[in-house]
Chains A and B, each alone.
Chain A
Amino acid sequence: NAGVTQTPKFRILKIGQSMTLQCTQDMNHNYMYWYRQDPGMGLKLIYYSVGAGITDKGEVPNGYNVSRSTTEDFPLRLELAAPSQTSVYFCASSPARASYNEQFFGPGTRLTVL
């Protein structure tokens, strides 16, 4: 049982490039989330999904897109990368609504945009 896995672990992008951060969970959780964590700051919710085919915006969605075609996968797409998107990105999942259940986090992707 691998839990939540994320790829890549590290990435450097140039301004204007695009990339997809991959997230997979093998716990059959319906709920999945993408967060970003800037140095010295709390985690901010980017997007979340309550099941395959259903996604919604979080607190800081601008510059990102998501899709949820399967229960297991929840990729995050960055279009036209900007330095402000330099951050650590965490994917998480929970068996039910986050506010009432533990969230399980992946190891994170450290992204630098230069």
Chain B
Amino acid sequence: RKEVEQDPGPFNVPEGATVAFNCTYSNSASQSFFWYRQDCRKEPKLLMSVYSSGNEDGRFTAQLNRASQYISLLIRDSKLSDSATYLCVVNYGAGSYQLTFGKGTKLSVIP
């Protein structure tokens, strides 16, 4: 069975804090990795793709460790608007159409 496991959360952090989410995946053949954001009772939206060398988008940094089958998302200087559930998403493997979604980690940024 192909699994994606995430920190259970919830994470309650003050504004301005740095918070990190972790994710592990079981399929070593997985090729593509993403973080999606899902606001309460809304649809998921792509936050960022995760590349082998790591990548950054403003306050967000994603890292990939293929040897450990581990993905992380770091959010710096948290804003109230960052409050959401963050979904770790992994494809099944090369040539696969199917993505495996983690259950998500809920973040609440507190004033």
- Interface residue ranges, A against B (CB under 8 Å): 31, 35, 40-45, 48, 50, 56, 58-59, 90, 97-100, 102-103, 105-108
**Complex: chain B residue closest to A42, CB-CB:** B101
**Complex: chain A residue closest to B43, CB-CB:** A105
**Complex: chain A residue closest to B100, CB-CB:** A42
**Complex: chain B residue closest to A41, CB-CB:** B103
Cβ contact of A42, chosen from B4, B91, B92, B98, cutoff 8 A:
B4
**Which of B98, B99, B104 has most A Cβ within 10 Å?**
B99
- Interface residue ranges, B against A (CB under 8 Å): 4, 31-32, 34, 42-46, 49, 87, 91-92, 96-104
Given the known inter-chain contacts A98-B91, A99-B31, A100-B32, please indicate yes or no for A45 contacting B46, CB distance below 8 A: no
A42 and B104 within 8 A (CB) = yes
Cβ contact of B91, chosen from A40, A44, A99, A106, cutoff 8 A:
A99
Given the known inter-chain contacts A98-B99, A100-B32, please indicate yes or no for A90 contacting B91, CB distance below 8 A: no
Cβ contact of A103, chosen from B46, B100, B102, cutoff 8 A:
B46
Q: Which residues of A contact B87 (CB under 8 A)?
A: 42-43
B10 nearest CB across to chain A (Å): 12
Cβ contact of B97, chosen from A31, A106, A108, cutoff 8 A:
A31
Q: Which residues of A contact B46 (CB under 8 A)?
A: 102-103
Q: A35–B97 Cα gap in the complex (Å)?
A: 13
Q: A43–B44 Cα gap in the complex (Å)?
A: 10
Extra 10 A-B pairs, beta carbons < 8 Å, given A42-B100, A99-B91: A42-B4, A42-B102, A42-B103, A42-B104, A48-B97, A48-B98, A98-B99, A99-B97, A102-B46, A103-B46
B44 and A99 within 8 A (CB) = no
A59 and B98 within 8 A (CB) = yes
Given the known inter-chain contacts A42-B4, A42-B102, A42-B104, please indicate yes or no for A97 contacting B97, CB distance below 8 A: yes
